[in-house]
Amino acid sequence: MGYHWNWGILLSPVPTGETTYLGWLLAGLKMTLLVSIPAWLLALAIGTFMGILRTVPSRFLRGVATVYVAVLRNIPLIVQLFIWYHVVPEIVPGGQAFKQIDLPTQAFVACLVSLTLFTSARVCEQVRAGIQSLPPGQKQAALALGLTLPQAYRHVLVPLAARRIVPTLTSETANIVKNSAVCSTLGLFELLAENQQVVDYTAQAYEPTITVTLLYLAINGLIILLMRQVERRTRVSGFIGSAP
């Protein structure tokens, strides 16, 4: 086939001259992290809240949380993304003002919102499973000590559950970075979109794509290492998986 390898292309300047092609890829990496990290933190907060609602005694609140999860888990991420970007600004009051903002910001906001909500539903299910996996005695003991239900959640159930689900949250953390690649379809210049652009400009397909693949592998490895530290620090002694 005779593919002409040219790794030097990555270090040559882009047409406008302000950076190199590698610079474009790194800008993409920055955007990937810029959307993934806030989305992850928000998803953690919302997911924990919804996860608690999934386990409360009130039938109504449980129902609300169940519908929330069902909607967000049964519609593909790209469809949700397009709905947040194309549909919501049209039908929600004040949406017209949103459409006045510049396009990259619109895309960024839509990506942030949909990644956050999509991931929050997954976090919610893990928090629910974490809370439900606790022995019922924990809640009973907390209530018997005179804690109110919200106090029991705040001081006993959620802290214990959170520390138990750290290992499963590791894969969700990695997932949100991978899922952010879908944002490239809205024209958000994250890693994958920058890669596409470099391929288009240089007509060298393999060098940038291999670089981007390695960058994703590196992020993934880093997340696993980081979460392993978190796991080690937050282990609860006396539970399965803890050091003897």
Partner 1 sequence: MRYELDWSSIPGALPVLLAGMKLTLLITLVSIAAGVTWGTILALFRLSPIRALSLLQRGYVSLFRSVPLLLVLFWFYLVVPQLLRSTFHLSAATDTRLVSAMVGFSLFEAAYYSEIVRAGIQSVSRGQVAAAQALGMTYGQTMRLVVLPQAFRHMMPLLLTQAIIVFQDTSLVYIMSLSEFFVTAYTVGQRDGRLVELLLFAGAVYFVLCSSAAFLVKQLQRRLASAST
What is the contact surface with partner 1 in residues (CB under 8 A)?
Answer: 1, 70-71, 73-80, 82-83, 86-87, 90-91, 93, 174, 178-182, 184-185, 192, 195-196, 205-206, 209, 212-213, 216-217, 220-221
Q: How far is the CB of 50 from partner 1 (least distance, A)?
A: 17
CB nearer to partner 1: pick between 73 and 155: 73
Q: How far is the CB of 213 from partner 1 (least distance, A)?
A: 6
CB nearer to partner 1: pick between 49 and 216: 216
CB nearer to partner 1: pick between 88 and 147: 88
* 20: β partners: 13
Spatial contact of 225 and 174, defined as CB atoms under 8 Å apart? no
Question: CA-CA distances (angstroms) from residue 41 to 37, 46, 123, 142, 194?
Answer: 6, 9, 11, 28, 25
Q: How far is the CB of 38 from partner 1 (least distance, A)?
A: 19
CB nearer to partner 1: pick between 129 and 143: 129
CB nearer to partner 1: pick between 98 and 143: 98
Q: How far is the CB of 133 from partner 1 (least distance, A)?
A: 17
Spatial contact of 212 and 192, defined as CB atoms under 8 Å apart? yes
Q: How far is the CB of 167 from partner 1 (least distance, A)?
A: 15
Q: Where are the beta strands (DSSP E) in 8-124?
A: none
Residue 1: alpha-carbon gap to chain centroid: 40
> At which residue do the structure tokens 């990644």 appear?
115
Quote the CA–CA distance of 116 and 45 in Å, as a whole number. Answer: 10
| Nearest in space to 40 (alpha carbons), one of 157, 163, 176, 167 | 176
Kind and range of the H or E element at 219?
A: helix 206-234
